[in-house]
Structure 1
């Protein structure tokens, strides 16, 4: 067992209110008082890592050092075996519109299309195996840290199906199912997701269950 969290304040290294709410809800039964890095006015560090682990640690360490409190950060994305693990840590970047692609922001349908186009370019028999990764990094102000990795295996489908997910969910069919993440009810998706896997490992290590 790694160093354990107490029941005090825990900084969630995000400026996204939705992500804070989601993580706080997951940890609510275990006692931490979750506050966001955004609410503390902490800057967002550049995510210069080449892996999910590196990026999650960058965010967690920066928040812990700046706040003087333990901090939790996550990094997640989609990896496609036939594309040598891409988009990987650049999952969100593939959805960012370029100057010639319209208003700034993320277009996930465009991102899904980029993945599909690359796969089709490899031929009709190309394997569609893929996986979602979620890495949770927990860091303390003195530099100690621990990492929890979750994964959900599956295959890509086309065209996109379902309206209940986000990101690449409409093209991801989880292992053992015949529907996409975006066709599953949120409660059912969260029970088998990469994030659920990572949080189960964190809870087991930090809170004993």
Structure 2
């Protein structure tokens, strides 16, 4: 089955392809479809649905894959000591309004710096955090499934590992003794927030 994935992130496409083997995963760039929807939702689920509906509209308008389902996800890092931030703004954390996004490394450094400054000020020094992924499987405007999963961990004090992307090098998994960036791709897909959400979506696809 061909599935459209509402992302411009090649790392996410690679992860989803590993989670949904046997399916052809296309992204808007494959057909030259501009894709940059306004993520105006207040939750991960709302933003995932916005992206799924927008990509379906664009695919229908382009005349390619009118019967193909669309998958969209919205994900981010929620830090307890920062009252759940950066949350739905994870990809834009630290960016100047209308300006260029920070690199993954700079964004991670900024987040750890903010957490450290909270601790020095006597605020709660908790380092518990989690990745959250809301994933939508959309068949039509009003026919869709939404699942949400998490990956629990705690923040390290400096980056560890070279795998993965985004905040992976700073989320430590105590049960494994490694950060997400120190996992193999196969290990990450088994336990990650996106991997667990994707498996639920795969079951829905299998069940028809």
1:89 aligns with 2:85: no
Residue 106 (structure 2) aligned to one of 102, 107, 110 = 110
1:52 aligns with 2:44: yes
* Equivalent position SS for 2:190: helix
* 1:65–1:141 contact (8 Å) kept in structure 2: no
**Distance across 2 between alignment mates of 1:83 and 1:71:** 33
**Distance across 2 between alignment mates of 1:204 and 1:147:** 13
**Distance across 1 between alignment mates of 2:96 and 2:4:** 31
Segments of structure 2 that go 5 or more residues without pairing to the other structure are: 61-65
Corresponding residue number in structure 2 for 1:3: none
Query: What is the root-mean-square deviation of aligned Cα atoms in Å?
Result: 2.4
Corresponding residue number in structure 1 for 2:149: 150
Deviation at 1:18, TM superposition (A): 4.4
User: TM-score of the superposition, structure 2-length normalised?
Assistant: 0.82
- Aligned length, in residue pairs: 196
CA change 1:128–1:12 in 2 (3 A) is same
* 2:188–2:195 contact (8 Å) kept in structure 1: no
Q: Per-residue displacement from partner, 1:106-135 (whole Å, max 9, x unpaired)?
A: 322221222222222222661110000111
* 2:92–2:101 contact (8 Å) kept in structure 1: no
**Distance across 2 between alignment mates of 1:187 and 1:35:** 21
Residue 25 (structure 2) aligned to one of 28, 34, 57 = 34
Segments of structure 1 that go 5 or more residues without pairing to the other structure are: 1-6
User: TM-score of the superposition, structure 1-length normalised?
Assistant: 0.82
